Amino acid sequence: MELFGYSLESIYLVTLILSGFITVLYLLFADVIEGAGEALGFLNPTTILAFITILAGSGYLFESLTSISSILILIFGAAIALIVSFLLHFFILVPLKSAEESLVYTEESLGGRVGKVIIPIPADGFGEVVIESLSGMISKPAASYDNLPINEGNRVLIIDVINGVLQVKDYEKALDWTDHQSK
């Protein structure tokens, strides 16, 4: 069968090559085009490109290897592409997106968390605090919020973050202070 003077086999092949090329370009420049994926929701560029590539690839294979009707080949190719795109979206892209977000932290999000002093914090100096999270351990420089020394091994409450330095208070003393304030 022909369409616009070209065989369907060659149309599928050209579409496969072009969609493969566009997919490679998308991989290289995905950060630039990130907003398009957010605006389209479920129909992000990755699933659209996967659908077109799989449709063109399966259409080319069916046209060149079988004698099935071209309409049936298009329907089978679209069904295969739809199923694979659906699986790609829900079993690869969605988990990757949520995993990527769970590893990110901001300095503002550290406020209120509890850490452990690994390098003692002098009264008017800096030490180091480690904070455990699901994604690993975060080690940050720290200074005492009250200008009181804090020993190694003590648990501390992170009050604020100023210029990348945690402002911390001894956790036991912070508990006593909040109990005193509430009475």
Q: How many structural domains compose the chain?
A: 2
Both 80 and 97 in a single domain?
Answer: yes
Both 26 and 84 in a single domain?
Answer: yes
Both 72 and 132 in a single domain?
Answer: no
Both 98 and 32 in a single domain?
Answer: yes
Task: With beta carbons less than 8 A apart as the criterion, state whether 168 and 158 touch.
Answer: yes
Both 9 and 93 in a single domain?
Answer: yes
What is the C-alpha to C-alpha distance for residues 173 and 46, in angstroms, rounded to an integer? 52
Both 76 and 15 in a single domain?
Answer: yes
Output the pTM of the full model: 0.52
Q: Select from 74, 102, 130 the last residue of a domain.
A: 102
What is the C-alpha to C-alpha distance for residues 11 and 71, in angstroms, rounded to an integer? 14
Both 67 and 83 in a single domain?
Answer: yes
Q: Select from 60, 75, 102 the last residue of a domain.
A: 102
Express each pLDDT in 55-96 by its tens digit.
999 999 998 888 888 889 999 999 999 999 899 888 877 777
Both 164 and 86 in a single domain?
Answer: no
CA distances to 7, 85, 141, 142, 163 from 118, in Å: 71, 48, 10, 10, 20
Both 77 and 24 in a single domain?
Answer: yes
pLDDT tens track of the chain, all 183 residues?
A: 667 667 778 888 999 999 989 988 887 877 766 665 555 555 677 888 889 999 999 999 998 888 888 889 999 999 999 999 899 888 877 777 766 555 566 777 778 889 999 999 998 889 999 988 776 788 889 999 888 899 999 999 989 888 889 999 988 776 665 555 555
Both 72 and 6 in a single domain?
Answer: yes
Q: Where residue 142 sits, what CATH number does that domain have? A: 2.40.50.140
Structural domain of 137:
108-182
